[in-house]
Structures are given as structure tokens and as C-alpha cells.
Structure 1
Amino acid sequence: MSRNLVIFLISIFIFSMPATAKIVDYIAAIVNGEPVLYSEIVKFAKENGIDDLEKARDKVIERKILLTQAQSEGLKVTDKELNAALEDLAKRSGAKNIAEFKKMLQSQGISFEDLKENLKEQLLIAKLIARDVKSKINVSDVEIQKICSSLKSHPVRTVYYIYTKSKEKAQKALELLKQGVPFEKVAKELSEDPTTAQNGGYVGKVTKGSLIKPLDIAVWSTKPGTYKLVETKNGYYIVFVKSQETPSCNEEEIRRRLFVQKFQKALKDYIDNLKRTASVKVYM
């Protein structure tokens, strides 16, 4: 029996039911000749915390496009690969073996066979993506060194400040600092910025250009370990640059981050390209 005939018969069975019968499922879409049931979409939405069924439908359609593409290209998942993946999943779930894993699933009302089939499909899609997307991504040493050079030319300074609306209060704060009172203590007592005051005036680790212009100029014209009074139209700031550091160049972390960025873009482009050539009919 042809695939199209099977789909036709399923549709006839569902839509020719008596008006009094309860319709529990129907074909929501057909992707490359394969039906996508409404129940699949509802299940996917529930499992992935998606409230919008149309968004869930689109994700299921994307998955079906990838799955049918893998199948059309003759990709296979061996029993050995599937069993290894099941054993790994069982261990990560806290089960000692597959038998115990089955009991865990049963207690939660989850079908082991359904999970097994779903896992097989995931592995098949992963093979397709590994071959057609991941294998073609390259992160060069030149790209990594370019980022490292950029990091080294953008030092980070740890900044604190005391803010007051009056010059008199700012002068009082300066006097206390000159007497050796710790900056954090003075900030907690006199600063009128409630957000930073409770943290001893701590603003954070900043790069050049990340603060408003008057403060930015003060921060980058002050030697680490010293402070400076800044007058603005909104009041007075005593800016304290506690320290400066140059971001470290972790090449492996940069390589991983670049790979992820490239992979995400490449995967989107790959799926978009498959969508353009796929046969998709939506009924919901």
C-alpha cells in the first residue's frame, strides 16, 4: 500500500466519524508525505513548555523535515548505537540498568517503546546535522587571536562611587576618605544612591565607554587605587577606581564560543534551506 493511500485512509477514518463521536486526533500537517498528528504537537508542546500550539507545530514540522531528510539519504541508527544511548540516558536518570529504567518510566506513565523510538529519531537527526552542518564548521587560530588581541586592548576597571546632591556632603565624604576611613564605609553612610550605597558604592567591572560621559572620563583618567570628585548636572560623584585588569585569553573557551555561534547560524540556514524545498501542508 502506498504512503499517500495510507494517509488518505487515515484521513477518511478520522473525518468520517459520526458527529456524536469524540475526535481525539487528526492530521495537523503532512511533511514530505509523512503525517504530523495533532497529538504529537500537543505532546511536544507539553514536554517543552510551549504554550503556543502554532509555535509547537512549527517546531514539530522542522523536526519532521530533518527526520525525513535523514531517512531519504539512507542514514541509519544501529541497534548498538541506540542501546548505548538508552544506557546513557538510564544512568543519567539515576537508574542502575535498563530494567530499572523501564520501571521508573512506567511509574511516571511513560512508554519505554515510545521513548526508544523518539530517541532513535533524535539520533538519526543528530547524524544528519553532524554530517551536513557540524563537520563543515571551522574555527581558525586567526579568529581566536583576533579576539584575544581585542580583549587585551580593552582593560576592565573595578569601580566604586559615592553620589550626593550637595557639594557640602561630597566635601564631607572627601574629608573622611582623607582621614583614612574605608571608601565602602563612607559610601554606605553618605552616598545618596541607594542601589550602590548598600554595596559600599560598588558599581561593577566596567570597560571604556560603558558609563555616562563625565564618569567615564573620570574613571579612565584616574590611576587605579585613587579617587576623584566629579561634578555633573545631577550632583556630585566621588569616583574610586579600585583596580584594573586585562581580561585573560582562554583560547579553548573562545574556540568553543565561536563554534557555538557558527553552529547556531549554520543550523538555521540549513533548516531554512530544507524548508524551501520540502513539501509541507498544514491543516491547523
Structure 2
Amino acid sequence: MKNTLIQRFSSLTLVLVFISCLSGWSQGKSVSVNKVIGKVDNYYILRSDLENLILQYQQQNQPAPNQCQALESLIIRKMLLAKAEIDSVEVEDKQIDNQISARMEYMAKRFGSEKNIVEAYGKSIETLKAELRSEIKEEMLSDKMQNKITEAIKVTPSEIRKFFNAIPKDSLPFIPAEVEIGQIVRFAKVTKAQKDELRNKLLDFKQRVEKGEDFSGLASAYSEDIGSAQQGGDLGFAKRGMMVPEFEGAALKLKPNEISEPIESEFGLHLIQLLEIRGAEYHARHILLRPDYNRMDLSEPQRILDSLNRVIKTDTTAKFERLAKDWSEDKNTADAGGLIKDAQSGASRLPLDASMDYNLYMMLDTMKVGTISAPLNYRTDDGKTAMRIVYYKSKSDPHTASLKLDFEKLNNIVLANKKTKAVDEWFKKAVADVFIKVEPEYQGCRIFGISPDDN
């Protein structure tokens, strides 16, 4: 397909979309009985993989690839995995465990409870986690291998100008209205009463263990860290620096089998048991209790944001960005001076349309460019209670693409094109290093010049 300014439908695009879809399990539409339709070294491709990939596009209302394009994207992904194995590219088990925990917590919030997850998928939590582990490991290995291929690629301003000037003027796309928005976020605080309540529960658990109860049994029954609770609270071996400082500091003060006092971190309150220290690594398990976010105190965030609001209004732009870096508790935006960026492209200009968070969209409708909102209650994507002030930094009206207004967008497209080219060239060379076979029923497909007849 031809390049356009907005999107290039390519092998790399298919890989990225497929990888991003692995975080959700397919529902609603059945697929045909599984059959192996392809193989790349020791990695198999099933017919259900192909049908699920196409289904994921359809569920997201995106133009779906045809079967040959989808098959090629699956082969590419298996090639990345095969080459990662050959090149000894690895991901740590702890990184995989962290991803599993995060995704299971997201699923629990989405469905309301683990019981609801089990009912929705007809599988136990242990089975879902095992399936998720395989998917996440492949996803992370593919990402790491792809980053290894493209990490040195850069784009120069002259390349961006050359790309833009090569587009026929009558083919320049129409860009919808876009906005730049900044935020300073302060999280609600746990009340003393809540902390005391959680601390007393953990102290009770500690006493029960000291009287002979099994720590892992209590963790499985009561810990709100879904990922580790299924393992009796076991976090496995962790290298120093991997855990949050409060947790690690408390764990390393313990002797093997000793249990800590309740420890507070950004995740809640922990009861920690150290199991073993091995060189620079330590093995611990914990019971985590989280506060009830609906009972948290917003008085301190309100006070801080009111104060910042008054300071910012004397010099909006410079002070907002500086104060966001110093005061915002949202790690995803603080380092960028509070700017909210697109999760996929990293662009700071966001389309002003229905894809935006509804509450934010309605807020901007009442604001003028260059103004700051009053402190507003806010629920983060991961369910935390917070308050924020919003800075309406800029707005671009709908327009025909231009070099000046759309430089960041053009930069991302040129960079993506260069990465696609590098990955495509890598694939052509890598074909010689791996065994690839596809079934004859895909006779019309040619995968990097390979057809079933060539296998």
C-alpha cells in the first residue's frame, strides 16, 4: 500500500498492533478449530492466531488486514522471537511477574473481582495467569528484539522537510482540531483512621503467623496484590533497586524468615517476610492491603493545587511547566512539564474529538486557551482518587497539513518509516537464519518472497 501522511500500513505496523492486542483475551466471537498453519524454527502459528489478529482489528474498528498480511505479521513476530533466542536476548522473570500483576489488577478493577474474571472467561486465575505469562514473555522479547534493531535510528530536520516537500500539494491530508493540555495531579491521602485500620489488620496477621499459621496461606486469602497472592505472596528473587525503596529497605533489615512491622509504600501497606538473601538478590513475600480509595482525604491536594493555581496565573506557561515537574505526582506527565501525551506516538498534540476522555473534553469546552482550571476531582486510569488542575496550552484549528504546525507529527512518521525500513531489511537478512514453513492452503501468499511452494 502507499504511504500517507497519517498512517503507513506496513509489516511493522501489524506487529505493533498485534503486540498491543495481546493484553486482552479475545471474547465474543468463536474461531475455528485450531490447526498449525505455519512454523518459524520452534515457534508455531495456529489458525486461531490468524483469526484472532483479524478479529482484534475489527473489534477496534480499524481496517483489518487480509489473511496474507495477517499471516506475514505473525511470521514476523515469530522471527523476532526466534532471532531473540539465537542472539540470547532475554527478559527477566521479575519483569514478566510485574506485568502479570499489573494486568491482573487491571482485570480485577474492570470486572469487579477475581470471581467475576473466572466466570467471564471460564478459566481459573492460575490458568489465565499461565496463559498471560506466555503472551507477555513473547511480547516483551519481541519488543526488546525490535528495539535492538532500531535503537540507533534518528531523524534530522532536513529529512522531515524532504519528506513533506515530496508530498503532492493536492494530496496533503486534512488534520482535525488538536490541543495541547497540561496537568498537575495530586493524589488523595490515606486518612490516619484508614492507616490505623490496615496496620492493625497486618499486625493481627503477624501475630497469627508467630502462633503457627502459614504466611503463604494468609497472603493467598487476604493480600490485595493479585499477582503474588496466587503464589502465597511470593515475589521471587529481586535484584537490589527493583522494588520501591520503602519495601526494599524494610526487607533487607530482616533476617531470613523474620517478619517486618507494617510498611507503607505508594501501593499500600505491606507485611514482609524475608526468605533468603543470595548475593545481590533477595527473596521475599508479602501481604499487601490497599486503602479504600473512596474514603480518602482530598483536603491536602485541594490546598496545594489552590496555592499553585494562584502562583501560576501570574506567569502561566513558564511557571506551570516548572511547577508540574516539582509538584505533580503523576509520573507519566510530570517530567514533560505536565503535558499529556499520546500513549502510542508520544505526541503532545491530541485530537479534540470523541477519542478524548469525556470529562476532559467537556472541561476544555468551557475553557479558553492559555487558562488554568480550578482544582477538580479526578480518577486515574488505575482507579486512584486524585485532584488536578488543567492547563489549556494550545489549540490548532482543523487545517491542511503544514510543515510548521505538524512538525512533530511529521517527525514521528519519518522516524516510523525509517524504523520500518530498517526492520524490513533486517527481516530479509534474518530469513536465511531461520526455518519458515506455511501450509499450502495459503498458496497465494508470499512472505518476504517465500511461498508455500518454496518451503
Q: TM-score, normalised by structure 1?
A: 0.46
Which structure: larger Rg?
1
Greater helix percent: which structure? Answer: 1
